[in-house]
Amino acid sequence: MNRRDQDGERMAASLSAKDDELEPELREALGNFRSSVTAWSEAMMGRPREVKAPERANSGWVTKWALGCAVFAGMVSGGVYQNHRQQEIARAEAAAAARTAQQQRELAAQEQSTQSAEDLMAKVDSDISQEVPSALEPLASLMTDDQTKGN
C-alpha cells in the first residue's frame, strides 16, 4: 500500500467518524469527490508512460567548437612564440652592438695611448738631439741668422 492510499483511508476514517455530524448533501458531495479522485488516480497510474531518450548533443556542433578552440590556441601560441623569438633576436643584436662598441672604445684607447707614446718619444728625441746646449742657444740662434743673411 502506498502513502496516497494510507492518507485516503485516514481521511475516510475521519470522515466516517464525523459522518454523524455532517449533512447528507455534504456527505454525498465529499463521497463523489473522493471517488472521482480515486478513479482519476487509478487511470493515471494505469496508462502507458512515454520514456523519452535523453537528447544528444549535435556532434557536428561539438566538432566545430573543438576545432575552433584548437585553431584559437594555435594562433595564440604562435603569436607568443614569435614574440619570444623577436625578443631573443633583439637581445642578441643588442649584445653584438655592445661588444662592437666596447671593441671600438678599446681600439680608440689603444690608438690614443700609441699616439701619446709617439708624442712622448718625439719630445724626448727632440730634447736629446739638440745641436747646441740650452745655455748656448741664444748665441747659436744669432749664428744661424747671420749665416742665412750672409749667404
pLDDT of residue 116: 83
pTM confidence score: 0.36
Q: Parse the chain into domains and list their residue ranges.
A: 10-43, 74-111
The rounded distance, in Å, linking the Cα atoms of 34 and 60 is 54
- pLDDT at residue 125 greater than cutoff 70: yes
Q: What pLDDT is recorded for position 121?
A: 83
Cell of 37: 479522485
Q: Does the pLDDT value for residue 53 go beyond 80? A: no
Instruction: Determine how many CB atoms are found less than 10 A away from the CB of residue 30.
Output: 15
